[in-house]
């Protein structure tokens, strides 16, 4: 199948000749192969490349939605574009559930993204991770005055931002980035505010700050929807090297203790929070993929996110390192599918799945950046940008920022985000941003051609 490794080839019950019990013609099979090889391919392009009519492509989409084997295939960790497909499902499901919201969002008419990332930190962190854009060790970190003044937003301003975001349609808030959230003494007051507004609450943290929490903070923590610890090695020495801390601080042991404590407290208090580990693959930990999977399983976490260094702060892998990475990815994936990690979900980025499949990444890139419709971010200082990278020192550019929540109402900023027409010219893009842009481009192209969200192959 074009663009897909042998291990990821789709097989229907009819061995590729049928879909939902319907016999397929060669051009129809070709259309399915093209779609699965690149789910962001617009319907008009599918029709042009295969010689099918546009109506035939729409019918193929209907059959795809109904085919159980295909639905299982696109969820498989052996599928090179699983996260891209998942992005399509998420967007389409939301659009079908609330058609009026998506119309307002696309028109830039007083609507904000369903997911909003806020960097409600003190613009600082206890760690100096070598791959972090906010690390003082990073040569990309800016010392320009705008990154230090007028200072991080206080809890009252963040509270008003959450209120306005909720009214404008946001449903999930991610507390992350721009430093460490747990250094903000008001962070769980903000989490509680988000809870009172009915928002889903996610947090990305280094985990060190859990030793400072009050009983009320712990209760808010286990009532969250998701908390992800950033743990990039299970070897204390390598961990200390990556995070830029001397061995005497014993940071790895502290983080492990805090993660275990959170799991224990969740069990005791019957909390609902999903707890996981985020692992950013880089040369320092190239040999640690299997080790971190075993470590995460022993601790009993719910998920492990395996990602590469998407913004390329660390050096590229040497040939031998890359071979080691590929071999480990294949073994971890095999163990996961065999159930050796129990109920823990191992979540591979598409880039890593492509590596494990000995495949080629998608060459297609969206022409316009629309990630501001899906997941904009607000910096510690109140600047709202298209994405989390757009409010980081290395990538900050005037055209990627839309103003300050201190000076401008969020309603106006949301309108500006909705009307933004920004070419995808960044030198780097997070996987979620690239996937979001590709899928949005396809959905909007198909919508213009007459294929509505409910008619997409993702709509099941």
Count of CB atoms situated within 10 Å of the CB of 108 = 15
**Mean pLDDT computed over 108-121:** 93
What is the reported pLDDT for 17?
66
pTM for this model (two decimals):
0.93
Of 245 and 305, the one with more pLDDT: 305
Q: Report the DSSP beta bridge partners of residue 204.
A: 228
What is the reported pLDDT for 458?
97
Q: Rounded to whole angstroms, how far apart are CA atoms 214 and 40?
A: 46
- pLDDT band at residue 148 under the 50/70/90 scheme: very low
What are the φ/ψ torsions at residue 270 (nearest 5 degrees)?
55, 45
Are 75 and 82 in contact by the 8 Å Cβ rule? The answer is: yes
- pLDDT band at residue 25 under the 50/70/90 scheme: confident
Q: Which domains does the chain possess?
A: 6-98+434-455 (no CATH), 110-356 (3.20.20.70)
Count of CB atoms situated within 10 Å of the CB of 416 = 16
**Mean pLDDT computed over 267-294:** 97
- pLDDT band at residue 2 under the 50/70/90 scheme: very low
- pLDDT band at residue 420 under the 50/70/90 scheme: confident
Are 223 and 272 in contact by the 8 Å Cβ rule? The answer is: yes
pLDDT of 361-412, one tens digit each? 888 889 999 999 999 999 999 999 999 988 887 677 788 889 999 999 999 9
What is the reported pLDDT for 5?
42
What rounded mean pLDDT belongs to the chain? 90
Q: Rounded to whole angstroms, how far apart are CA atoms 327 and 42?
A: 34
């Amino acid at each position: 199948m074009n663009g897909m490794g042998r291990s990821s080839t789709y097989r229907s019950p009819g061995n590729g000749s049928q879909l939902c019990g319907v016999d397929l013609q060669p051009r129809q099979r070709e259309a399915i192969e093209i779609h699965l090889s690149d789910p962001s391919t617009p319907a008009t392009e599918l029709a042009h490349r295969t010689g099918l009519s546009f109506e035939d492509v729409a019918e193929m989409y209907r059959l795809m939605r109904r085919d159980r084997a295909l639905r299982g295939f696109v969820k498989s960790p052996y599928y090179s574009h699983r996260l891209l497909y998942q992005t399509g499902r998420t967007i389409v499901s939301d659009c079908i559930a609330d058609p009026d919201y998506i119309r307002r969002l696309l028109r830039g008419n007083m609507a904000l993204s369903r997911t909003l990332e806020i960097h409600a930190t003190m613009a600082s962190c206890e760690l100096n991770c070598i791959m972090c854009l906010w690390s003082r060790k990073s040569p990309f970190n800016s010392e320009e005055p705008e990154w230090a003044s007028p200072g991080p937003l206080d809890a009252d301003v963040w509270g008003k931002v959450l209120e306005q975001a909720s009214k404008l349609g946001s449903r999930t808030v991610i507390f992350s980035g721009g430093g460490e959230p747990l250094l903000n003494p008001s962070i769980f007051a903000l989490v509680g505010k988000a809870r009172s507004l009915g928002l889903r609450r996610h947090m990305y943290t280094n985990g060190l700050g859990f030793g400072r929490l009050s009983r009320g903070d712990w209760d808010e923590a286990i009532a969250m929807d998701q908390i992800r610890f950033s743990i990039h090695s299970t070897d204390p020495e390598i961990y200390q090297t990556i995070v830029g801390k001397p061995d005497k601080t014993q940071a790895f042991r502290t983080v492990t203790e805090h993660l275990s404590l959170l799991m224990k407290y969740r069990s005791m208090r019957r909390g609902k929070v999903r707890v996981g580990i985020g692992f950013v693959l880089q040369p320092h930990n190239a040999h640690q993929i299997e080790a971190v999977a075993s470590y995460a399983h022993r601790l009993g976490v719910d998920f492990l996110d395996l990602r590469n260094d998407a913004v390329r702060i660390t050096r590229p892998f040497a040939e031998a390192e890359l071979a080691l990475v590929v071999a480990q990815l294949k073994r971890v994936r095999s163990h996961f599918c065999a159930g050796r990690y129990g109920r823990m979900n191992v979540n591979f980025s598409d880039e890593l799945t492509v590596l494990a499949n000995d495949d080629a990444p998608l060459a297609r890139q969206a022409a316009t950046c629309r990630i501001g419709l899906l997941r904009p971010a607000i910096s510690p200082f109140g600047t709202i940008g298209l994405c989390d990278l757009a409010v980081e020192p290395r990538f900050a550019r005037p055209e990627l920022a839309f103003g300050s929540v201190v000076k401008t109402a969020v309603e106006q900023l949301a309108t500006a985000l909705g009307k933004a027409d920004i070419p995808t010219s960044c030198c780097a893009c997070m996987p979620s941003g690239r996937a979001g842009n590709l899928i949005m481009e396809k959905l909007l192209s198909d919508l213009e051609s007459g294929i509505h969200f409910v008619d997409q192959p993702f709509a099941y």
